[in-house]
A and B are shown apart, each in its own frame.
Chain A
């Protein structure tokens, strides 16, 4: 079993979920409150990774992150490093790839919070941002948690994007799914089965703990 790959995947998935928490929450909040006519365009862009083949997404990200791509050259100018085939580059690709898995549950959870609670908060003098922090977020956190877990689990299993952007560098970009693929290619079914089993059980445990927890919290908050 490839513990290095498992550890790398966990690091990547955790980092992805945390980055998505930071950038996904504001995007989802904006989507849940905006009355902008062209909002649907933003929604479509966010949802793109759901339907796009990972290789297509991976290809564009690779071009963008490459030394001559806009992101890659800017990164090189600032840090002197390269993004393609690095952990940072992989993280960026993986954040894009999991964006809808975080933003959609976030936005649904924010949208499900009764607007009158926000209005009550505004008439009590709280700004929109303060209202979000003190009313919407505390009431929507089961949905936020669900989005984080989904993007964590989704990142754990990603393959196509990693292959395109990260390649297969042990300890740097060689994630669990790549490692399993390699094992199968090398006809090492024993190792592939072991790693797959670990991934399956870990995913199941994470999801059941989350949904179990969420259910209890939600029922506690059910008004009336």
Chain B
């Protein structure tokens, strides 16, 4: 089956910056593709180009069998004729119209009875019935988001585009609304392209991920794959593997590589021949801490270390350990107290070999 959306574009900006993007979204049933990267990486430009709000200098955009953009052939379908729904970062609701007026805004071409019934359906679906006559400015962030989604889906677009849908909200509400957004998007059953710089959001909402950095797509794949097996060092940093240090493969035995990192050695699954320099990627969540050394564990890496930094990180505590190299770990406040994990404490960092991801460096 053909790809739902296939993008291959380049846009140059005055001053030398440019955005190049080539990726496809799968055609089997509705899926959510996350465009992930830091601010200024070019994510929004890609999204706007797909909507027809930005005009690339080169390339093509195809949706199913339709060509939306083919610069070489002089084809550029205006946004009005691309079947997209766009949810802007701060929702861009029409301030002079009611909630119902916003939701029904794009249904002008339909007879008024059909329009009214569609608006009623959407208001019900997005839990907005009570708010139908309210002005957008009187709504909470979450309510505005639902109105923006309902408005974008009113014309049953082939593709839904969301630009940082949760960025306009404060942190405590973001988490609750992330779950709600996932529910609404799954319920809408429409192919979705979602831009975010937030790792948790990408993990929570995405099926597929397109990692963008410095205006270039670095990796495309299933979310879990990309997060656990970043293609290169840059992707590893972008997707937020906290510990990324350089090492050298010193020996290989029984399918396990001994890698020297700083003054320590770790065992990892082989990804590079002896003598190769590698990036050693370790996620904080995979580091277990023990007080003393019981030695009874299936984990192959037991590193004596000292705690050199303690930081609160939301509900967790982030520890930096010196174990011959700097290693990041997260624990719950409860374990921290139980084990006395304070600054300067001596601990053993325990790591399974498969949790250490080696990325060959050239």
Contact = CB atoms under 8 A, between A and B. Distances in A.
B92 A126 contact: no
A119 B155 contact: no
A45 B90 CA distance: 38
Interface in A91-137: 114, 116-117, 119-127, 130, 134-135
Contacts of A135: 94
A221 B42 CA distance: 33
Contact of B94 (A117, A122, A123, A224): A117
A148 to B, nearest CB: 19
Contacts of A224: 137
A95 to B, nearest CB: 30
B334 interface: no
Q: Which has the most chain B C-beta neighbours within 10 Å: A114, A117, A122, A125?
A: A125
A119 B106 contact: no
Contact of A120 (B82, B86, B137, B155): B86
Contact of A126 (B53, B80, B85, B88): B80
B79 A223 contact: no
Nearest to A139: B96
Nearest to B154: A124
B109 A120 contact: no
Contacts of A139: 95-96
Contacts of B96: 138-139, 221
A118 to B, nearest CB: 9
Q: Which has the most chain A C-beta neighbours within 10 Å: B80, B82, B152, B154?
A: B80
Contact of B88 (A120, A122, A221, A222): A120
Nearest to A121: B105
Given A114-B92, A117-B94, A221-B95, A123 B86 contact: yes
A124 B105 contact: yes
Nearest to B108: A126
Contacts of A121: 94, 105
Nearest to A131: B80
A122 B96 CA distance: 17
A223 B105 contact: no
Contacts, number: 63
Contacts of B108: 125-126, 130
B51 interface: yes
B119 to A, nearest CB: 13
Interface string B62-100: 000000000000000011101011101010101110000
B146 interface: no
Could you say which interface size class chain B belongs to?
A: 20 to 34
Query: Mostly helix, strand, loop or mixed at chain A's interface?
Result: helix
Interface in B101-140: 105-106, 108-109, 136-137
Interface string A191-224: 0000000000000000000000000000001111
Could you say which interface size class chain A belongs to?
A: 20 to 34
A122 B79 contact: yes
B151 interface: yes
Contacts of B106: 124-126
Given A120-B86, A222-B137, A224-B137, A125 B92 contact: no
B128 to A, nearest CB: 17
A123 B51 contact: yes
B53 A123 contact: yes
A121 B152 CA distance: 10
A117 B155 contact: no
A97 B84 CA distance: 46
A23 to B, nearest CB: 25
Given A135-B94, A138-B96, A223 B80 contact: no
Contacts of A119: 51, 53, 79, 86, 88, 92
A122 B94 CA distance: 13
Contacts of A138: 96
Nearest to B87: A120
Contacts of B151: 120, 124
Given A116-B90, A123-B152, A139-B95, 20 more contacts: A114-B92, A117-B92, A120-B86, A120-B92, A122-B53, A122-B80, A123-B51, A123-B53, A123-B84, A124-B106, A124-B152, A124-B154, A125-B106, A125-B108, A126-B80, A126-B105, A126-B106, A127-B80, A130-B108, A223-B137
**Pairs A-B, 9 closest by C-beta atoms:** A124-B106, A123-B86, A116-B92, A122-B79, A120-B92, A223-B95, A223-B137, A138-B96, A123-B79
29 contacts: A114-B92, A116-B90, A116-B92, A119-B79, A119-B88, A120-B94, A122-B52, A122-B53, A122-B78, A123-B53, A123-B80, A123-B82, A123-B84, A123-B85, A124-B151, A125-B80, A125-B108, A125-B155, A126-B105, A126-B108, A127-B80, A135-B94, A138-B96, A139-B95, A221-B96, A222-B137, A223-B95, A223-B137, A224-B137
Interface of A: 114, 116-117, 119-127, 130, 134-135, 138-139, 221-224
Interface of B: 51-53, 78-80, 82, 84-86, 88, 90, 92, 94-96, 105-106, 108-109, 136-137, 151-152, 154-155
